[in-house]
Amino acid sequence: MPARLAFLGPRGTNTEAAALRYAPAATRVAGESITGVTDLVLRGEADEAIVPIENSLQGSVTETVDLLVHSLPLRIKREVVVPIEAALIAGPGTALADVATVYSHPQALAQSRQYLGATLPGAQQVATLSTAQAVERVVAEPGAAAIAPPRAAAIYGGVILAQGVQDDPRNSTRFVVLAPEDAPPSGDDKTSIVFNVDDKPGALVRIMQDFADAGINLTKIESRPAREALGVYVFLLDCQGHRLDPVLRDVLAGINRQCRWLKILGSYPLDAGPEPNG
């Protein structure tokens, strides 16, 4: 486990909850953005970083994905799945009927859209860099509330106005630990890759068929802009197995010969996560 673990701060965020689950004894170093968190590792101020990459309701966290695809010289070492519970938090003296403004991270606002529409339809929604930053702000702002993890209320002196305001009790977020090297084989692993193929009929199908012929299960595939020209994409793929497993190693070698380029983002132990709330 790392001695110093960078996370998306400040204290009380879901990313800190993931950091505590992954490495409870590590010294946690807060960053103000996903890019800022990974920069702490690149500058040697932290040994590893933990950042969100995918939410079960909102899909991929594009800032993390694009960093991995286009620029970041770090590999995925672990995944950590955390159930997401959101609360409506305000400062002392603010009641639910007083709330005119709701602050939170854009993902948290989106994941509580139904609750906000039904309970606070007239409230202005304002995006912040993190859920915890939203709580820090509202404890000193009458008539404001934040969507954040319940533990943030105790950390910043807020009052919980409502629990479980997320739209789906099965809501969970997948976090990844980024480090200079990925993990050794554990026997129950996942590998993430990104690749680009020529724009020809069947090019992507042939790559998918190589995995199928080898009996390798694909757990995720998505496309992202290649940043070359409009309509040009790269493909991100998660599959079962470790890049050093002989079968997967051979498949990746064969795919590499078919691609314009291929990048292995990392191999790491599979995390099914704890039971979600609700």
Instruction: Return the amino acid letter for 13.
Output: T
Structure tokens at 71: 């620029």
**104, 171 in Cβ contact below 8 A?**
no
173 included as an active-site residue: yes
SS3 labels along 207-227: HHHHHHHCCCCEEEEEEEECC
The Cα–Cα gap between 149 and 114 comes to: 17
Burial of 254 (0-12, 13-18, 19+ CB in 10 A): middle
Angle between helices 34-42 and 62-70 (to 10 degrees): 40
Q: Which residues of 125-154 are buried (b: 16+ CB within 10 A; e: fewer)?
A: beebbbbbbbbbbbbeeeebbbbbbbbbbe
Catalytic, out of 7, 175, 195, 235 = 175
First to last CA, the chain: 31
- Strands 261-269 vs 189-196: parallel, antiparallel or unpaired: antiparallel
211 included as an active-site residue: no
- Alpha-carbon dihedral sign for residues 116, 121, 123, 124: positive
Catalytic, out of 173, 191, 195, 211 = 173
Other residues' Cβ atoms within 10 Å of the Cβ of residue 175: 27
Instruction: Return the amino acid letter for 58.
Output: Q
Instruction: Give the HSE-up count for residue 152: Cα atoms under 13 Å, Cβ half-sphere.
Output: 34
Q: Catalytic residue numbers?
A: 173, 175
